[in-house]
Amino acid sequence: MKSTYTRQYQDFLVRIKAARKDAGMTQEELARRLKRPQSFVSKYESGERRLDVIEFMHIADALGVNASEFVESISPWSMKKKAKD
């Protein structure tokens, strides 16, 4: 199974879209910061386009989000660790 169809990736998409909205940005504003077309943001948020790690780091930076903390928050390993605590 491709990772884009996993529950974790779908959770990632929900959270990255929420991070954009929490930052008070539209897709167009974020795209402008990334120097990309608005369709780039729309396509990765909808799951039509998959993000690679470098693209994600640029997006996190544009949103003012700590990329490491963001990934840790959706990691299945960190979720298991939290359940043990």
18 vs 22: CA distance, rounded Å: 6
Joined together, the tokens standing for residue 76 give 């299945």
Overall size of the chain counted in residues: 85
4 vs 44: CA distance, rounded Å: 10
Note the pLDDT of residue 72. Answer: 86
Read off the pLDDT of residues 55-83 as tens digits, 9 standing for 90 and up: 999 999 999 999 999 988 877 655 455 55
Note the pLDDT of residue 7. Answer: 82
Domains of the chain: 3-84 (1.10.260.40)
Read off the pLDDT of residues 5-59 as tens digits, 9 standing for 90 and up: 688 888 899 999 999 999 999 999 999 999 999 999 999 999 999 999 999 999 9
